[in-house]
């Protein structure tokens, strides 16, 4: 055991897995009605936020996403992106944020290089996604 700067020993808690689902479950249990505000545009409490994340995870499972898969996301800083930020790793998949400021060719390269199996995008990016579809046969 190492001593701290004030001469008292550090107390190391038992090792626990730090999983996103566990963090959200704990927040929901401790403060289910506590409000989460997103950019003054949306408000949810932890219980509702957790339910939205579960729905996003179920949608991903419906698309065939499984542990180890990479999920590309083309979105603005939105509540949907925040929900995916939790839902994707809860499934054991990897969230790949596609830089929407790149050219379509560069986006296509990063999506192929990352090995994304699914690409989720904001409706603003539908023309880009349609343009990339032919060059992304595995997505």
Query: Is residue 36 within 8 Å of 83, Cβ to Cβ?
Result: no
Helices (H), the chain: 20-30, 46-62, 79-90, 104-114, 126-132
pTM above 0.75? yes
Segment 86-112, tens digit of pLDDT = 999 999 999 999 999 999 999 999 999
In whole angstroms, give the CA distance from residue 135 to residue 139.
Answer: 9
The pLDDT of residue 62 is: 98
**Percent of residues, the chain, with pLDDT higher than 70:** 87
Average pLDDT over residues 20-28: 79
Segment 25-65, tens digit of pLDDT = 887 788 778 888 777 778 888 889 989 999 999 999 999 99
Q: Name the average pLDDT for the chain.
A: 87
Q: Is the dihedral of CA 127, 107, 99, 113 positive or negative?
A: positive
Query: Is residue 75 within 8 Å of 51, Cβ to Cβ?
Result: no
Any idea which architecture 20-135 has in CATH? 3-Layer(aba) Sandwich (3.40)
- Is 95 exposed, middle or buried, given 0-12, 13-18 or 19+ CB atoms closer than 10 A? middle
Question: Of residues 15 and 35, which shows the higher confidence score?
Answer: 35
Average pLDDT over residues 107-124: 97
The pLDDT of residue 6 is: 54
**By three-state DSSP, how is residue 94 classified?**
strand
């Amino acid at each position: 055991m190492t001593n701290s700067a004030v001469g008292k020993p550090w107390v190391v808690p038992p090792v626990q897995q730090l999983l996103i689902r566990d963090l959200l479950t704990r927040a929901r249990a401790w403060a289910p009605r506590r409000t989460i505000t997103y950019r003054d545009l949306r408000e949810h409490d932890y219980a509702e936020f957790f339910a939205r994340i579960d729905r996003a995870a179920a949608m991903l499972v419906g698309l065939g996403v499984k542990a180890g898969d990479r999920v590309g996301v083309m979105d603005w800083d939105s509540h949907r992106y925040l929900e995916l930020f939790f839902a994707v790793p809860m499934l054991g998949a990897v969230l790949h944020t596609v830089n929407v400021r790149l050219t379509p060719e560069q986006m296509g390269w990063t999506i192929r290089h990352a090995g994304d199996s699914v690409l989720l995008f904001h409706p603003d990016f539908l023309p880009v996604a349609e343009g990339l579809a032919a060059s992304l046969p595995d997505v």
